[in-house]
Structure 1
Amino acid sequence: MMKAIVNLVLFFASLSYPIYWLWGENPQVLALLPFIIGFFWGLKGIYEQTAMRYFSWGIAGLLMIVGITRTNEMMYGYPIMINGLMLVIFGISLWQKQTIIERFARMQTPNLSAYGVRYTRKVTLIWCGFFIFNIVVSGMTIYFNLLDYWALYNGFISYFLMGILMAGEWIVRQYMKKHYEK
């Protein structure tokens, strides 16, 4: 139950962070926001398995650095840091026996077929491309000082695109299972 509450708080905090950072009127809340979100990421790490625990604690650490430095560059760079961390985690897994997506898949299907393993490797590559895309778009909005677009992209559009990617991958996976894994 506590894990679900923490995940829900993090979901809404992650969505609202860019928007509040851009349009928030209260500087005290802005100064505390990275620490508050970081606290919940640290708490999330307590409820996670080993690999995800370190990931959660890594994000908590990044947020603490963002909060301590209190610079605009660090605040606006937060989505880039998160996507960069995700890119590193997913990218490194491409050189391991099991990619991170394969590990997730094996939670539901422990005896994943050879086809399933190849498929999960391709999905991991697609996610790496998605993280690179997010880094580039977010970086461009910062570089060109398009801060309204930064908030819109990082607070809504990137999550919308992530949802489309997840839904699209699920649809493709169902089709592939039906037609190729008999």
Structure 2
Amino acid sequence: MPLTARTATGHAGRLVGLGLLVAGLAYPFAVYAGRDVLSPRLFAVLLGALWLVRTLASKQTLLSRTLAVTALLFCLLLGWADSAALLRWYPVLISLALLGVFGGSLCYGMPVVERLARLSEPELPPAAVRYTRRVTWVWVGFFLLNAGIASGLALWAPLNWWALYTGLIAYLLMGILFAGEWLVRQHVRKTA
């Protein structure tokens, strides 16, 4: 593939990835605001189209492939069932897919956090490898907890509570976890 075509494909993939990020952030609020005017099938078509375009426009890794398959299967089920109750399960499925990827990486191959760390530092010392494994376990715990909370809210809470947690609080918790891990990593590096 010529360099310009490869560059254009990379830009398209990033643009679609950004669209999915925005859609993911807006999804709970769109479900809340559109529950009376938008059909679940329309949500399925729009979300499925974004995931399909992303799958076709970007390089496939285990993480992206797992998320895409999970999301596309969910969209098929949502479109087939046309059930408003199913709309609440998308954040749960994404958390479970991430749990599977992070947890699976602890059993097979290189842990996800180690893979990410090696992008900027290919030759990690053994202490750093152990640290990335522990951080991967922390993310496994987070995704398990997040899926549990989102499931409970999907089953028993009012829609506005679900939207608030899955659209704002869960992302704030992820941000706190990222920031906390960064601070711990800086401390570990200074003491090593």
TM normalised by structure 2 equals 0.84
CA drift of 1:103 comes to: 1.1
The answer as to 2:19 corresponding to 1:14 is: no
Cα distance change on mapping 1:45 and 1:175 into 2, 3 Å: farther
Q: Is the 8 A contact 1:6 1:40 kept in 2?
A: yes
CA drift of 1:14 comes to: 0.7
CA drift of 1:136 comes to: 1.6
Q: Deviations over 1:152-172 (max 9, x none)?
A: 001111111111111221222
The match for 2:38 is 27
Q: Deviations over 1:7-46 (max 9, x none)?
A: 2211111111111112214224x53222222222222223
Question: Which residue among 167, 170, 175 is the counterpart of 1:155?
Answer: 167
Question: Which residue among 65, 73, 76 is the counterpart of 2:77?
Answer: 65
Paired residues, what number? Answer: 179
Aligned partners of 2:97, 2:85: CA distance in 1, in Å? 17
- CA RMSD in angstroms comes to 1.8
Q: Is the 8 A contact 2:32 2:160 kept in 1?
A: yes
The match for 1:169 is 181
The answer as to 2:136 corresponding to 1:121 is: no
The answer as to 2:59 corresponding to 1:48 is: yes
Aligned partners of 2:155, 2:46: CA distance in 1, in Å? 27
The answer as to 2:164 corresponding to 1:136 is: no
Is there any run of 5+ residues in structure 1 with no aligned partner, and where? none
The match for 2:96 is 84
Q: Is the 8 A contact 1:142 1:150 kept in 2?
A: yes
CA drift of 1:174 comes to: 2.4
TM normalised by structure 1 equals 0.88
State the percentage of identical aligned residues. 34
AA aligned opposite 1:50: T
Q: Is the 8 A contact 2:95 2:144 kept in 1?
A: yes
Q: Secondary structure at the match of 2:122?
A: coil
Is there any run of 5+ residues in structure 2 with no aligned partner, and where? 1-10
Aligned partners of 2:182, 2:13: CA distance in 1, in Å? 24
CA drift of 1:149 comes to: 0.5
Question: Which residue among 12, 16, 19 is the counterpart of 1:2?
Answer: 12
The match for 2:7 is none
Cα distance change on mapping 1:85 and 1:56 into 2, 3 Å: closer
The answer as to 2:126 corresponding to 1:104 is: no
Aligned partners of 2:61, 2:89: CA distance in 1, in Å? 27
Q: Secondary structure at the match of 2:107?
A: coil
AA aligned opposite 1:136: G
The structure 1 segments of at least 4 consecutive aligned residues displaced by more than 4 Å after TM superposition are: none
CA drift of 1:101 comes to: 1.2
Greater Cα shift, 18-27 or 127-136: 18-27
Q: Secondary structure at the match of 1:98?
A: coil
CA drift of 1:119 comes to: 0.7
